[in-house]
Amino acid sequence: MADPTPADWRRTDAYLSETLLERDDALERAVADQEAAGLPAIEVSRLSAKLLQLLIRIGRVERVLEIGTLGGFSAIAMARALPDGGRLVSIEAETLNAEIARRSIARAGLDDRVSVIVGRAADVLPTVDGPFDLIFIDADKESNTVYLDHAARLGRPGAIVVVDNVVRAGRVADPATEDEQVAGVRRGLEMLARDPRFDATALQTLDAKGWDGIALAVLAGSDEATARVVADPTPEDTDPGARASGH
């Protein structure tokens, strides 16, 4: 079979979206307002938004931190999946984006559970109170390691961390690229691999947004249930008693 063309993967994305997703007017209107205001169409795909919603349900998430609001599409999607009493805090550097997002969030009836904070995330994050159960990182890629560091601090043990746009049309694996955003993505992935606070993987996506991907991580916890999954475990890794007894 030939390699897929953009037309192939867009058609497949449309098929999966039409087959699996219900139309959500609040989300469609948020995208329409974002477009009318001249904001770029860089929100997550509908299917990725549904993945975020499922992670919230699977992880019994009640408190979400988002870095990078744009026009509120992913914030609305995630807030819709929260249980009663759930809260979402989203940080956005651009005042116009935050205004558009707040309007769409209010129209969706979610302003009681969603707060949009305007400011550069690196300045705002030190003022944010955790803990959060899920952290979605989707802003300037150059700062991914800074955001991951805050995520590790603000997330509860076992919290879910999602980092968007980690493939960037394959440039992440192209040694010739000098793109600063790609360099930021790589630093973030290397941090996820080496920093013992995270256990992570990444998946490529081919969808309406093109060729990209997400990294998904769980924060280390204080108990065995949230301990890092290790390849080729040693007896110490599988049997805590072995370590204590020196085996």
Which residues contact ligand SAM by CB under 6 A?
42-44, 68-70, 73-74, 91-94, 97, 120-121, 138-140, 143
Question: Mind giving me the DSSP string for 115-173?
Answer: EEEES-HHHHGGG----EEEEEE-S-GGGHHHHHHHHHHHEEEEEEEEEE--STTTGGG
Give 97 or 217: the residue with its C-beta nearer to ligand SAM: 97
How far apart CA 134 and CA 162 sit, in angstroms, is 8
Helix intervals (H) in the chain: 6-20, 25-36, 46-58, 73-81, 95-107, 121-124, 144-154, 180-194, 235-238, 240-245
Give 95 or 204: the residue with its C-beta nearer to ligand SAM: 95
CB of 185 to ligand SAM, least distance (A): 13
- Two tokens, residue 24: 């959500």
Give 48 or 155: the residue with its C-beta nearer to ligand SAM: 48
CB of 105 to ligand SAM, least distance (A): 11
CB of 233 to ligand SAM, least distance (A): 36
Give 68 or 86: the residue with its C-beta nearer to ligand SAM: 68
CB of 151 to ligand SAM, least distance (A): 14
Give 82 or 93: the residue with its C-beta nearer to ligand SAM: 93
CB of 74 to ligand SAM, least distance (A): 3
Q: Which long-range contacts does 223-226 make (Cβ < 8 Å, 24+ apart)? A: 223/157, 225/158, 226/157, 226/158
